[in-house]
Amino acid sequence: MIHFPNAPANFDDPLRELYKLAVEPELSFKDKVARLLALGADALGLKLGIVSRIEGSIYECFFSMALTGPRCPVPPLV
């Protein structure tokens, strides 16, 4: 089991918000994903949210969200 030390002890509110966002008919799919990633990152105390898939040696990133703040350098791909 993964442990997130920065996550709040009570997940009831984030779970409730997750459900409300998932069933909101007025939001586009793209907006839902953006808000769900932000909600999940906040609930888990993370600065980044990603929806991705790995198939074999292929990594595909479909959506990503980063909280604003200082940028960190990305090492070059080798």
Cα distance between residue 37 and residue 49, in whole Å: 5
Position 25 in a domain: yes
Q: Which domain holds residue 20?
A: 12-66
Higher-scoring residue by pLDDT: 78, 67:
67
Cα distance between residue 62 and residue 78, in whole Å: 22
Position 2 in a domain: no
60 phi/psi in degrees, rounded to 5: -115, 125
Cα distance between residue 76 and residue 47, in whole Å: 21
Condensed to tens digits (0 to 9), the pLDDT of residues 9-68 reads: 565 677 788 888 888 888 888 888 888 888 888 878 888 888 899 999 999 999 888 876
Position 78 in a domain: no
Position 77 in a domain: no
Position 73 in a domain: no
- 36: which DSSP letter? H
